Amino acid sequence: MTQDLARIRAFVQVFDSGGFSAAARQHGRSKALLSKYVTDLEDYLGVRLMNRTTRKLSLTEAGEAYYREASALLQQLDDLDATITDQTAEPRGLLRVSAPRNFGEDTLAPAIYDYLRKHPKVTLDLRLEDRYVDLVDEGIDLALRISTLADSSLIARKIADMHVVVGASRELLGRIGTPAHPEELRHMPCIVDVNLQGQSNWRFIEDGKTISVPVNGPVRVNSPLAARKAAIMGLGFVVLPSYLAEPAINSGELVPVLSEFLPTGQTLQAVYPHRRHLAGKVRALIDHLVDWFTSHPIH
């Protein structure tokens, strides 16, 4: 079996490298050994897999079919080996993580730094920015997102429950009144955080059904902290994640409203690209975050 795999791997390596000499240089094997392996494989299968000339190497029709299946098989075996190795090895290497700025600076940072203390061979590239990050194009291993999963090219694991708060200053409520129903916000000043899912269409729940309420107001901003400040100063109502709203509510700067209409089910999610093999350092971080936020609930 080992010899069979060596022949199959030699065939794939030679074609991927563009020739026997290049494959020999890339993989540290002799050109003669690679040639023998490919010839032995062809003899075993009873078909020619490659057309060899002094200038060019190409696959026969049978070779193309065999290459597709063989390269997929080798990838699966390599992924399996890596999975087993990762399960037994200590996490190590560079880990690129993306998260919303305010969540990352305050709530995520202690959790992820605790992970680094436990795994000193991991180095962290933590990117905190309030924009949608393309994980594949930007080489991100893991993104922390507060939402529901909408991108089918990604895989998500729930880390913790989250909820949002609608709030306003006492001064504003005293001036224009407290809304009894979400629809009243159509005619009231609202602060729009453009990072919020839905932006100026705020979602509520009534009798189990979703209500989408279009809102407007004096401020559109791409920062939840700046949106919170505008609300504290009486410029309008604001939707905030609970971890940002609670300090202002506890200090009396904001008053929560419409609590009975707020949607549930929003979660903090660890999101990563579809891959056959999830690196051990990423899996270990996800497990750590689940444990951390179980003992340190997000309020």
In order of their start, the domains of the chain are: 2-88 (1.10.10.10), 93-160+266-295 (3.40.190.10), 164-261 (3.40.190.10)
Residues 45-97 pLDDT 10s = 999 999 887 677 889 999 999 998 998 888 778 767 766 666 667 888 889 99
Q: Single out the residue of 268, 291, 270 nearest to residue 282, CA to CA.
A: 270
**pLDDT band at 212, cuts 50/70/90?**
very high
**Tokens, residue 36:** 């023998």
Rounded distance, CA 200 to CA 212, Å? 10
Mean pLDDT of all residues belonging to the chain: 87
Among 3-12, 223-232, 248-257, name the one with the lowest average pLDDT. Answer: 3-12
Query: Nearest Cα to 167, choosing from 250, 111, 54?
Result: 250
Mean pLDDT check: name the lowest of 173-177, 198-202, 265-269.
Answer: 265-269
Percentage with pLDDT > 70 across the chain: 91
Q: What are phi and psi of 169, to 5 degrees?
A: -75, 155
Query: What is the pTM assigned to this prediction?
Result: 0.59
Summarised one tens digit per residue, pLDDT across range 136-177 is 778 888 999 876 555 555 678 889 888 889 999 999 999 999
Amino acid type, 74: L
pLDDT digits (tens, 9 = 90+) for 234-249: 999 999 988 889 999 9
Q: Among candidates 297, 292, 295, which has minimal Cα distance to 113? A: 292
